Amino acid sequence: MEESAPRPDETLITKRQAWWIAIRPFSYPASIVPVLVGTAVAADERLRPGLFILALLGSVLIQAGTNLATDFFDFAHGVQPKATLGGVIRRGLISAAAVHRAAFACFAAGAVCGLVIVAFTGWPILAVGLASVLAGYFYTAAPFSYGRRGLGEVFVFVFMGLIMVMASYYVQVERLSWQAFLASLPVALLVADILHANNLRDIENDRARGKVTIASVIDRPAADYVYYLLTFGSFLAVAGPVAAGATPATTLIVLLALPLALSAVRVLRREREAAALNLLVRGTARLHAAFGILLAVGYLLAAV
């Protein structure tokens, strides 16, 4: 496996800056929001601040490990797009071996957080934590590499949406509820939306390298309609249960995030080039973060 040499315009980037790029902190709302929402749903029953902090830290560490592992395996397998927001190995900023070691370190640190939580809550969280670490690593790692087999959005929907929200709720009250499940649905839709936006940007690159994603299979404009479905479906996933009386009316505060959704849709309708579609990826991530925070606030308002 060859290391790429630094480009002249990147020689001024320090090691610290390179690691900052590698761990992609801008993506962390994807792992923070589910913990916030799951904990907020539990707020009217019980709050355990220490376990909340551990769950938040563990979730972020697993996200960082996944980012690093993805960077490593995409580079190793020659499928990393030039328009990606990471790519530190391809750009010659950090060695492949160092990135791989850092991924394992993040997963291990996340596992330690999980084990402390297990000591207070029992084996269900152990099972969830182990499954999450494996899902993060094998997103791009062989033999599964499910992120390259058209299953990325499905696994992200399940693990970073449904499971993470309900597990965060369980950490607080040590049981599950339909309320937690309903709260997890819009979060799951939007986190899958972030990945789909990423794959929309990379359609041509993924096809050239044999990487299978929903977007690369159905192409545009069909992939655009999937984006619309995930984006506006998240709002319906809140409004529907409220209309049915199953969730608090205060959660309709998420409608304040609708302008961000419309802004992202305008980018998608306007842009075709991969580099320009980075705006779509960032816009979708901002939507997920704002929507998730508002949803958590809605549940907290109902609790008080």
Find all residues with CB under 8 Å of 211, minimum gap 6, and list them.
79, 148, 202, 205
> In terms of pLDDT, which residue wins out, 196 or 271?
196
**Is a pLDDT exceeding 90 seen at residue 206?**
no
Predicted local confidence at residue 5, as pLDDT? 42
Residue indicated by tokens 């979730």: 59
Q: Rounded mean pLDDT of the chain?
A: 89
- Token pair 């792992």 is at which residue? 31
Is the CATH code 1.10.600 the one for domain 13-303? yes
Give ∠ CA 31-34-35 in degrees, rounded to 5. 90
Res. 9 pLDDT band, cuts 50 70 90: very low
Rounded mean pLDDT, 235-247: 97
54-94: pLDDT as tens digits: 999 999 999 999 889 888 888 877 766 555 555 788 778 88
Beta-bridge partners for 266 = none
**Domain extents in the chain:** 13-303
